[in-house]
Structure 1
Amino acid sequence: MVNVVLYIHILAATAWIGGSLLLFALGILLKGKEAQAQTYEYLGPIYGYFETFWLVVLIATGGFLFVHFNLISVLTLDINESTLGYMMSNKLFYVGTITVLTIIHMRIALKTHKGNRTTLQKIVSRASSMLIFFLNLVVLWYAMQLRHILS
């Protein structure tokens, strides 16, 4: 059972990060505002639901693995004395940050789909998207470090 949950967790991480890499690449490679607008108009909603699904799966499977391996006790360790506690605390912080940023980004995207965004909405939407992208890579790095420590 635990191996299946771990497999699903890794699959979800692959889908989540892979999706963000795809949109990041599209943002760089698509030339012209019109091409970007058309692509995001059609791809955006599909991508949003796809990514939300995988984020929920990541959080659910990660929570299961966290409890199963009794990693709650790790959070009570002094982070200055425990590499595992330090890594786990940081990973959870960044996962929480990504989740909040995703909620903010999705609210703006759903509210303004096929409509105009205010300057503030554009800034917050783009900034949250970029932060999510880079924090995904940070969380991946922490996951690799934790896997190394726990193996």
Structure 2
Amino acid sequence: MPHVARVDLPRYMGRWYVIASIPSFPERHAYNAVESYTLLADGRIATDFRYRNASFAAPVKTMHPVGTVQPGTGNAVWGEQFVWPIKAEYVIAYLESNYRTVIVGRSKRDYVWIMARTPTLPEHDYAQLVGKVAELGYDTGKLRRVPQQWPEAVP
């Protein structure tokens, strides 16, 4: 899986809305999915993944993996540890120069995430990102757009 040459980690930190994905099992019916990253003092990345399952009214679910940057990758390849000792590959395959959109993938091409700093994207921008996902070797027919509705309604 190709990755970007360099990621400015402090600039990358913060909230990313999941616009579309070829999702992992837990997130296959996600609504309002958001990844938030915080750089820790030891260089690892605390991740807060929050979503609602199958509807906007469902309770919020969260996962809290910790990312470890692989040396020599320009901060673009991480191991995301959900359960010790297993680390899932996290490859920043595309990152817009203004850090507005990102594509995160895996070498197996089993999962991919299109994320943005905003909960929605113009259709033209989304189509361009889907094209980039195809160029990375993914079957874009498996992409699922994640419903996003903000601000969230209070149940």
Normalised by the length of structure 2, the TM-score is: 0.24
Question: Bigger radius of gyration, 1 or 2?
Answer: 1
Relative to its length, the structure with more strand (as a share) is: 2
Relative to its length, the structure with more helix (as a share) is: 1
